[in-house]
Amino acid sequence: MKTLPFTKMHGLGNDYVYVDCFQPKVAALIAQTDLYQLARRISDRHRGVGSDGLVLIMPSEVADLRMRMFNADGSEAQMCGNAARCVGRYAFERGMCGSLMTLETLAGIRQIAIHTDIRNRVEQVIVDMGVPVVESHRSFWQRSDRDYVAVDIGNPHAVLFVRTSVDEVPVQTLGPHWEHHPDFPQGTNVEFVQLYNHNELYMRVWERGTGETQACGTGACAAAVAAMLTRHAANELTVHLPGGDLRVRRDEQSGKLYLIGPAEEVFKGEYRIVD
């Protein structure tokens, strides 16, 4: 029987199963495993561990760490801000890296900074999310109270602003509609955003390959930069999500986005891999 050690972590309820591939036996097992099937099975909330996906923490030739991230449907994603924060905390607390580290992802290399309290306990994790690419504003809605902004944070996002409360948005219907819209051949993440004031917004998110989640780090960045550039919001915003609050800061000179929020470890275990 093959067993895979794992750690369950989450960023504001956006939970993943993390596997430490720095361990030679674990890396060898992962190399022999169908990762598509593993991600689907381990993410199953009834027959598996239960999560929004699977994250592999791996050695890198160009950074301190490498992250591979799989959605709950088995598809591989380019980047995840909440997962990056969790990887940062995992590596810091196990002495794999110091409070500053670099992380290789399919979206490029990201810098991570760990902020601790006086007892050296992790309080916040900051991820340099890079410079977003914001496409020209496009409206796909007949109703004037909603519009759409396409943003690339290393992965694709469609940001939809709403005037009503995000609690009233039929995310389970509109989410899959926009995820598979013809304008996004590879699919997209979808953010439903209410700009509350100059410094705050409320958001619900439909993640590509997973569905509605409690939080999404890249989605928070996409929503924030869309608000900053099209709604004249402040260059630092608090993003209120069902799972809690994230902060997004934009450096005016470089255009880089910084994602700030918590990362929590839930439990450790071993998962039995069925051939």
| 153 token code pair | 């944070």
44 — phi, psi (to 5°)?
-60, 125
Q: 190 forms bridges with which residues in the sheet?
A: 158, 206
Q: What share of the chain is helix, strand, coil (3-state, %, to 5)?
A: 20, 45, 35
Let me know if 221 is a catalytic residue: no
Q: Counting beta carbons within 10 angstroms of the beta carbon of residue 25, is it exposed (0 to 12), middle (13 to 18) or buried (19 or more)?
A: exposed
- From the candidates 21, 80, 86, 221, which is the catalytic residue? 80
| 131 token code pair | 């410079």
Helix (H) or strand (E) holding 33: none
Let me know if 216 is a catalytic residue: yes
HEC-encoded secondary structure of 244-257: EEEEEEECCCCCCE
| Alpha carbons 16 and 7: distance in angstroms, whole number | 9
- From the candidates 21, 86, 97, 216, which is the catalytic residue? 216
| 166 token code pair | 């995000």
| 108 token code pair | 């490029």
Interior CA angle at 218 toward 81 and 138, to 5°?
170
Strand-strand pairing, 189-197 and 156-162 = parallel
| 114 token code pair | 């760990």
Which residues lie below 8 Å from residue 119, measured CB to CB, with a gap of 6+?
Answer: none
| 128 token code pair | 């340099």
List, by residue number, the catalytic residues: 80, 216
